[in-house]
Structure 1
């Protein structure tokens, strides 16, 4: 194994933690086929062009089933030595069944996440048909739960990525000038990612800032003019670990209402971030921002969450955000040290967000860009 961000011990600790959960759940073999779970445990993950999985027995060595074409890059990145393969035109389920039988695992109780985006109804039927002697049980998001608490090494990657986000934001915001375009900001952000040591990846949502539901709007090639507001959310990744930051850029002096909205959001979010302490109830943390925005009249209702967990995002995943834990009015879970969140808010045409680590002694903002509306002086 080479070219991996973590030492072997990191993966050994993850394997031990998973097996502890498996034993408690009465699972003899775990099957992981979501790319985040596979990568977190093994160091490698690939797209769903052809199905693949990591199989973890409770008392034997794991193996990685993958198409033959991807076996070489898999070996370069994973500590797993046992890598059975299949040809592109073959059904992988009989190959999986044979691999389990050869290793004496074909009568074990097999756990998988029934909500896995990689396990369609059709594929599950194929799996069941290929493994008639195995009991298939739902182990739920077991790996996602384990991924919630970040190790020191993971936090180190997120710190580095947050610094990239800060600098990329500075450069992208500076490109928001009359005659320029949102595409210019996107190009500069992506270039900054690569130059600063992050993975080549999409920049994140860049759009016009109006109202509150503009966060996932479309990139525009229309030339910018005085008075425009550009929403920038940057999502750089290092070894797949993503930090996130949002700001709005005003071309020239902002409208008084926009400036006031931005100031209100900053104040409310400062209070919300300060409340992210171990033991805090998630719904209470959420209410600080949510209720405050409604109380000040910036929005009549708040129909989206105010934060979610951050961590590993494989480039081929269909999920652009990790909602294993989200901040909303019904969230009864408690904040724990080692969690990392994307805390975000939008209202009145303004938006702001941060990457926040929860430490034993309270929150730490990993993104450090100055808070508030960015105002580009255009001589008005």
Structure 2
């Protein structure tokens, strides 16, 4: 019988305080007096609470003093239960949340301050930004785009523990799905087996992965259908569970029935090339050179005629509406260097076969957090 997973401890207050202190250094450098945080990843990263997407909500972080959450009254009890913060302004569904945010800023003495805003936020629409400016005519708005995405790149030990836990959920759920996958079984039965296993092991999210078979397996992304598996199919599985909002990911293929010799050779070549890429993922490595190993390797092996997609992207804390974090991606012209304890979803595919891992950057090279055997299953 499979041993139950041991859950890592929750984030202590000290870790949130450390994050906040690092953020305030960046605020000071940019002469920001108060920061409006309204992207859900950042609200959870600094405040420990994930709001619902029903209406606009925000976390106001002053350069000095305790942050204050401005949120829907319906969410306030959960905030009090989950967040390390204690200051909360709750508004009713009949109130205008942008007006409540502006009034909170005014009441706390920041009406004429430099106010940082996330101009790249999914929630601060053009209309909301203009309304906020009109309600705070004496304030100076400062663009804070991209800064919090960058500061979340290097993971703490406890963040790595959460990602490792999510990675083991990938391993276990994929194995459960492959156990259920055989000719005559509907795709949904396979997905149900994967989902149940993921939830048993601590997954927090409901959209847990991608599953396609037959001709659809060559596209990677697809809607779950009602197809019945048949001999000769390739089943593509990509697990993307979240644990405490941290996601790890993994892709594996399974042949329904015996695979062809060509499929086995293709899988072995892809794995060999990607393993070489992982070995190059050391601190200081150039992202474009890490990318080149897979991009040029797959093309040189004749497995694809062109390679236009990325070969990896950031992993970490995610929240709606974003399901993937492309703050750092691996492309042929990627002009950045890897840092120790960054974590990435590294993937490649050719034809109907795809392999991917959750990989952390270490001085010895990329270390796989996902541990499932790398092969074409059948």
The answer as to 2:232 corresponding to 1:248 is no
Question: What does residue range 19-30 of structure 1 map to in structure 2 within 5 Å?
Answer: 19-30=24-35
Q: Distance in 1 between matches of 2:186 and 2:265?
A: 26
Is 1:152 the equivalent of 2:195? no
**What are the Cα deviations for residues 131-190 of structure 1, in whole angstroms up to 9, with x where unaligned?**
111111211121111111100011111111111111111110111101102211111111
User: What are the ranges of 5 or more consecutive residues in structure 2 without an aligned counterpart?
Assistant: 1-8
Seen in structure 2, the aligned counterparts of structure 1 residues 36 and 214 have a Cα distance that, compared at 3 Å, is same
The Cα shift of 1:212 comes to 7.9
Q: Provide the residue aligned with 1:340 in structure 2.
A: 343
Query: Are 1:181 and 2:186 counterparts?
Result: yes
8 Å Cα contact 2:359-2:368 kept in structure 1: yes
Alignment of structure 1 residues 41-120 onto 2, 5 Å:
41-120=46-125
Match of 2:328, SS state, is strand
Report the alpha carbon displacement of residue 252 of structure 1 after superposing the two structures with TM.
1.3
Task: Give SS of 1:362's match.
Answer: coil
- SS of match in other structure, 2:209: coil
Matched, 1:301 2:306: yes
Q: Which moved more, 1:351-360 or 1:279-288?
A: 351-360
Query: Residue 310 of structure 1: CA displacement?
Result: 0.4
Q: Is the 8 A contact 1:265 1:345 kept in 2?
A: yes
- What TM-score comes out, normalization by structure 1 length? 0.94
Q: Structure 1 stretches of 5 or more lacking a match?
A: 376-380
Structure 1 residue aligned with 2:290, among 285, 288, 291? 285
RMSD across aligned positions (CA): 1.6
Q: Which moved more, 1:209-218 or 1:331-340?
A: 209-218
Counterpart of 1:85 in 2: which secondary structure?
strand
Q: Is the 8 A contact 1:201 1:237 kept in 2?
A: no
**Which residue of structure 1 lines up, in the alignment, with residue 18 of structure 2?**
13
Deviation, structure 1 residue 47: 2.4
3-state SS of paired residue (1:55): strand
**Could you tell me which residue of structure 2 aligns to residue 363 of structure 1?**
366
| Structure 2 Cα separation of the partners of residues 29 and 91 of structure 1 | 21
Question: Residue in 1 aligned with 2:270?
Answer: 265
C-alpha distance in 2 between matches for 1:301 and 1:197: 39
* 1:342 alignment partner, SS class: strand
Query: Can you list the C-alpha shifts for 1:292-338, whole angstroms capped at 9, x where unaligned?
Result: 11111111111110000101123xx0111111100011111100001
Residues 82-139 of structure 1: CA distance to partner in whole angstroms, max 9, x if unpaired? 1012111211122112211221111111111211111111111111111111111211
Counterpart-to-counterpart distance in 1, 2:327 and 2:318: 13
Cα distance per residue 1:31-86 (max 9 Å; x no partner): 11010010011001212211000011112221100011111111111112110121
Q: How many residue pairs end up in the alignment?
A: 371
Instruction: Tell me, in whole angstroms, the C-alpha distance in 2 between the residues paired with 1:258 and 1:49.
Output: 46
Matches within 5 A, 1:32-47: 32-47=37-52
TM-score, normalization by structure 2: 0.95
Q: Counterpart of 2:176 in 1: which secondary structure?
A: helix
For 1:138, the equivalent position in structure 2 comes to 143
